[in-house]
Amino acid sequence: MAAPVGNDSSRIRLFHLALALFALALVGRAGQVQLWQGAEWARRAARQHVKAAEIPPLRGDILDATGFPLVESRELVQLRVAPRELRDRRALARVLARAGVPAATVKRATDPKRAWVTIPGRFLPTDVAAATAMRGVYTEPAPERVVTRSPGMQRIVGRVGGDGAPVDGLELALDSVLRGVKGAASVVRDARGRSFESPTAPGVAALQGHTVVLTINYALQEIADRALAEAATRMGAEGGDIVVLDPRDGAVLAMASRRPGADAVSATALTEPFEPGSTLKPFIAAALLERGRARPDEVVETHDGRWEYNGRVITDSHKAERMTLAEVIQQSSNIGIVQFAERLSPQEEFETLRDIGVGTPTGVPYPSEAAGILKAPERWSRPTAASMAMGYEVTVTPLQLAAAYAAIANGGELLEPALVKEVRSRDGEVLFRHERRAVRRVMRPETARAVRDMLVGTVANGTAVDADLATFDVAGKTGTARRTAPGRGYVARHYTASFVGLFPAQDPQYVVLVKLDNPVGAYYGGKTAAPISKVVLEAAIAARDAALDRGALARVGRPRPAPADTLPPDTVRLAADVAPPDSAASVPFVVNLAEPAKARPVVLPMRPVPDVRGQPVRAAARALHQAGFRVVLGTGTPGATVPAAGTLARAGTVVRLLRHP
């Protein structure tokens, strides 16, 4: 083959030159794209192919003192469907229907005219696993907080909103501990739009929040919840609180609260102060003993239950000409305690109440804990000193009062109550541990012992015999205080009934505070709150683990009485009903309150007909039914009942509920 010559050769060179220039242009452009603009193009590519996803952390668990989970997080999923991408609509419809999705939503989710449907609600991943494997079904993690069913616990731990943010309770107070650390993941999308975690850019895992161990004992909490619910229903009370505290280290072992209405969600034992009434008297007695101003056997005139003082008439339910200081506490004499309190100056009385914690929040990690009210002496009126000695013109939260009684129980030290026992990291490392912390010494051990002896007498033969146990000594004090209403002052026939007990009296392991708001019928603390304390203690003694040192209990137990189980259980309880009532309800006003009937029917259970006025018929019927009555409807004054509210009637009695004709 002959070599090209002439024009051919020059054309070939020209062609080669063009190829070379083209190649040079390609190399130049490649250099420009790769070297000069490389970073920008890489960013653009990453934006299209790689997506940074935020991984929400699971909130930490909340456990009780024994490790029982009270609140835990679990990961549910939310479903989103692109109906046009679906291949098998019927299969999806079947899976969604099985998962409990309403038929209308299923129809929408499988309607090809729609582009995007979000299925309301959150689902257990295993329930919708078949759906999530389908093309056109997208999932999003939706962490859920699962709280134990105890209503008292729900009030303590609080709530978390749908967005995972805490709303109230411990969830809010301990959010920084519980919330955890967000994670991040790089998700790569392939040509079909499917996404998967980038193998070259591994993400950062989310870290679950710390575990919070509470001082609450769940077994005891359940006992308190149930006792309060049953008592409130049986007695027609508007609400109530039970606090159980360990006086040895200040640990809150149980805290049950009950208020009407779905909006009442806070732990009212921490947030709602009340006038404690006679439960404050032992601290006045302690102040007198501490300062050497009185002896337990010192006598004052109690004027047969009626005494005019500073222009007011003060009355006692237990009428006597004279009483010792110990009897004043045991019989809850208003006349006696006012006379003894005169030996304290206003400043001393103020300091006594201030030192036991009145007017200062206890410091437990709970949002909106109330401080209570304690007025400085400069703001006192003429009758304030006497009123305070009887537990009026001063307010405390149930927890504050329980903590104050813990000082009597433990030999005189006011301890800081604790709700959180430990905080543990996700690796199990203990980050915080509650240590017993004494706020101050409020009385000497001898004084505490003397006051405790008086309180033993209150339960043994005073106003609180209904709290007594057969085999253990219990110390305690009842209180019955009139209640106020906004703008109306003290309201007739509205009472707060309370009892604070120390168990066992010799070496207390529990301080049990029971408070009932507006019990219907018998409203004295000794008749309403004290028996609930007994119910709680009996159930705690019988429970497998209710934070009791049984060895110590066995050492202080009384000799066992004759077998009580030969009598019906309720008959045994009836034997205590002959006790004189707590007298504090008659102060500080000139009102002689009728004593509760001493002659009780022999056969129990008798219970007051609840007051259902103002409630819808359905709710009223339910309340009556829950109280143990049979309900028939009649016509008349709406909400009225026959027998009338407050009347004691046997369980199963037919109650006629009246409504509009």
Q: What residues line the site for another protein (CB under 8 A)? A: 68-69, 72, 74-76, 124-126, 129, 132, 141, 146, 148-150, 188, 196-200, 219, 222-223, 225-226, 469-472, 535, 537-539, 541-542, 550-551, 553-555, 557, 560-561, 563-565, 569, 572
Nearer to another protein, 36 or 196 (CB): 196
Closest approach, Cβ 140 to another protein, in A, equals 13
Closest approach, Cβ 512 to another protein, in A, equals 14
Nearer to another protein, 73 or 330 (CB): 73
Q: Give the up-direction half-sphere exposure of residue 178: CA atoms within 13 A in the CB hemisphere.
A: 26
**Sole residue written with tokens 């049984």:** 550
Closest approach, Cβ 444 to another protein, in A, equals 32
Closest approach, Cβ 83 to another protein, in A, equals 23
* Residue-wise burial string across 500-531, b where 16 or more C-beta atoms lie within 10 A, e elsewhere: bbbbbbbbbbbbbbbbbbbbbbbbbbbbbbbb
Nearer to another protein, 428 or 561 (CB): 561
Closest approach, Cβ 76 to another protein, in A, equals 6
Pairwise CA distance, residues 389 & 293, whole Å: 15
Nearer to another protein, 104 or 542 (CB): 542
Token pair in block for residue 363: 């410091």
Closest approach, Cβ 457 to another protein, in A, equals 20
Q: Measured in Å, how far apart are the chain's first and last C-alpha atoms? A: 124
Pairwise CA distance, residues 252 & 397, whole Å: 14
Closest approach, Cβ 186 to another protein, in A, equals 11
Task: Indicate the DSSP class of residue 34.
Answer: I
Report yes or no: 127 and 97 within 8 Å, Cβ to Cβ: no
In DSSP notation, 217-257 reads -HHHHHHHHHHHHHHHHHHT-SEEEEEEE-TTT-BEEEEEE
Nearer to another protein, 412 or 628 (CB): 628
Nearest Cα to 542, choosing from 318, 283, 298, 220? 220
- Neighbouring CB atoms inside 10 A of 419's CB total 26
Closest approach, Cβ 555 to another protein, in A, equals 8
Pairwise CA distance, residues 293 & 402, whole Å: 26
Nearer to another protein, 226 or 343 (CB): 226
In DSSP notation, 118-175 reads EPPS-B-GGGGHHHHTSTTEEEEEEEEEEE-S-HHHHHHH--B-TTS-B-SHHHHHTH
Token pair in block for residue 267: 């732990």
Closest approach, Cβ 126 to another protein, in A, equals 5
Burial class of residue 101, CB neighbours in 10 A (0-12, 13-18, 19+): buried
Q: From residue 545, how far is each of 66, 219, 253, 425, 541 by CA, in Å?
A: 9, 7, 12, 26, 9
Q: Give the up-direction half-sphere exposure of residue 430: CA atoms within 13 A in the CB hemisphere.
A: 8
Task: Provide the β-strand partners of residue 484.
Answer: 490
Nearer to another protein, 129 or 181 (CB): 129
- Neighbouring CB atoms inside 10 A of 193's CB total 7
Closest approach, Cβ 222 to another protein, in A, equals 4
Closest approach, Cβ 273 to another protein, in A, equals 29
Nearer to another protein, 299 or 543 (CB): 543
Report yes or no: 371 and 361 within 8 Å, Cβ to Cβ: yes
Nearest Cα to 258, choosing from 267, 250, 249? 267
Token pair in block for residue 588: 């500080």
Nearer to another protein, 35 or 542 (CB): 542
Nearer to another protein, 467 or 612 (CB): 467
Nearer to another protein, 120 or 568 (CB): 568
Closest approach, Cβ 169 to another protein, in A, equals 19
Nearer to another protein, 472 or 589 (CB): 472
